[in-house]
Amino acid sequence: MKNIIISLSIAVMILSGSCNTRETADLVIINGKVYTVDDNNPSAEAIAVKGEKIIRVGTTKEISAMVENGKTKVIDAEGRVVIPGFNDAHVHFGPLDPDYIELRYTTDPGIFTEKVKAQVEKSKPGQLIRGGHWEHEMFTDRQWPSKELIDKVSPDNPVILTRADGHSILVNSYILKASGITGKTKAPFGGEIQNDPVTGEPTGIIKENAMDLIKTGEVIPEITEKDKEGKIWKGYLLALKEAREFGVTSIQIPGWGDFDAYRKLHSEGNLTSRIDIGEPLTGDPEKLNRYMEIAREFPADSNWIRFGYLKAFIDGTIGSGTALMFEPFTDNPATSGLAMMPYEEFEKMVVEADKAGFQIGVHSIGDKGNNWTLNAFEKAQRINGIRDSRHRNEHAQTLAPSDIPRFVKLGVIASMQPTHCISDKKFVIKRIGEERARGAYAWKSLADAGAKIAFGTDYQVEPLNPMEGLYASVTRKERLGEEGEGWYPEEKITMADAIRYYTLGAAYAQFMENRKGMIKTGYLADIVIIDKDLFNIPENEIMRTKVDYTITGGKVVYSSGKR
């Protein structure tokens, strides 16, 4: 009888709710304007997190009931916008070098001379000096720079200054001599050595595959491995700090990342962005087998460090005049751009890698380059059969109208970087004319056709800050602003779609849309709180928007210090 009474008492407690069975959270965000990117629950006020995952999305009242005094961290968003963490689908990420000469937004080439001179004075003779991000279309004369700018201040040091797109470099005479490059040197397939039209001698501008000829002749200064490793390690920490300050919780590196470095960062608790790392595309069976080993070591079901896709280049860039076009460049009829390899060789690699089950991404800029990429993906489907490959067209920058529907038909992802539009539009029409320019940066046309789109930055070609990409997506205007409706305004998209492509779209591109890219129960708790309402502010405020909180895997990895 006593046992029956005890059992009845427990039942009454459960039914009355007096038994403490409520679910509690490790972290909650309340009083927010939450854009979830979840079509089934597009907006909310609050979020509850336990461990690495979101356990509830709802009202502030509902989520506040999950707070356990002294144990739950509470963030009051105070009406601020809350969105999923940014996922940069194409970023050349790695350790930052504090000695790198920054030339972004330079309008006076004389700055090259000043900055190289200053770095030479801090360096030992023979030590390599690097810098870059210059864009000659921003110079007052819009002319390519030449080695004479830097020769006089660097007679005893090799100097390499990389153009913003990474597809052309300016080197000094020291490097030309060390590399054996003269006016008689022939460029390799897919490369160009720019020669002075009067003297016939190299100007110092080397493009695309011709960069493989470069030998620095560098004299390595005496430095211990410990010192070298320490500098690189600090470089990684600086890069990750920049990412989290911009709300970038996921990073997709198209190739040439250091798996071991990120594994060490993760084991030490310093990895604050999730990482995918790709490798160069190949059709070689031995290399593909090696890639399979890496994929097993860094598997797709991991949430932190994963093997990405295989990356190839089919052409160059519009800025360097090396994008592969069907017709000659408008401002230089002598060339239609450069292919990085013969089409047959490229197609064979795509078919073999697809057959082995790999995802493939191809840097494609010109209309012909994009056409070749789609052709190769189509050939792989015909030979190997259709599967959920999610092959990627990296940049998809200038498209023939007839190729836009093929993205949908072939299931190819348009992996695009919105800031390319506002950086390049100053010279695109000059390079390729108005008609072809209508197919450039055609986000809206691709979206309307039903294509899957993933956004990124192409950092360090462009700044890492996603706010610049959001601004570019919805305005297509100069960063400093301009009158009118923007450049080919029919291709503008809404802020909601721009954020979607930077979050869920990028997650889909890496086969993670079922656990990342939305603020949804069961999803990874990668969340950003921003200081302005991106949906309702004037366009000139978008790039001034700052991140107040970055949360990766349920942990606050960055706070601006504001409430």
DSSP track, 192-223: EEEE-TTT-SEEEEEEEGGGGG------PPP-
Each residue's pLDDT tens digit, 242-268:
999 999 999 999 988 899 999 999 999
pLDDT score for 220: 63
pLDDT score for 141: 87
Backbone angles phi, psi at 160, to 5 degrees: -130, 120
CA distance 268 to 226: 18
pLDDT score for 223: 56
Q: Which of 186-190, 214-218, 321-325 has the lowest mean pLDDT?
A: 214-218
Q: Is the pLDDT of residue 138 over 90?
A: no
| Close Cβ partners of 226 (under 8 Å, ≥ 6 residues apart) | none
Residues of the chain with CATH 3.20.20.140: 228-512
C-alpha dihedral sign at 254, 259, 261, 263: positive
Q: How confident is the prediction for the chain on average, in pLDDT?
A: 93
CATH annotation of 101-213 = 3.10.310.70
Q: Taking residues 185-197, what's their average pLDDT?
A: 93
Tell me the pLDDT band of 110, cut-offs 50, 70 and 90. very high
Residues of the chain with CATH 2.30.40.10: 1-79+519-563
Is-cis flag, bond preceding 460, omega within 30? yes
Q: Is the pLDDT of residue 272 over 70?
A: yes
**Residue 115 backbone zone (phi > 0: left; psi -120 to 50: alpha; other: beta):** alpha
pLDDT score for 485: 97
CA distance 42 to 49: 18
Cβ count within 10 A of residue 506: 30
CA distance 457 to 149: 30
Residues of the chain with CATH 3.10.310.70: 101-213
Pairing assessment for the beta strands 248-253 and 86-88 based on DSSP bridges: parallel
Give, in words, the CATH class of 1-79+519-563.
mainly beta
pLDDT score for 2: 44
pLDDT score for 224: 59
Q: Taking residues 376-390, what's their average pLDDT?
A: 98
Each residue's pLDDT tens digit, 214-247:
998 887 665 556 665 777 889 999 999 999 999 9
Pair 397, 318: CB distance under 8 Å: yes
Each residue's pLDDT tens digit, 406-418:
999 999 999 999 9
CA distance 277 to 253: 5
Q: Does domain 228-512 have CATH number 3.40.50.300?
A: no
Q: Is the pLDDT of residue 137 over 90?
A: no
Each residue's pLDDT tens digit, 63-109:
999 999 999 999 999 999 999 999 999 999 999 988 999 999 899 99
pLDDT score for 5: 40
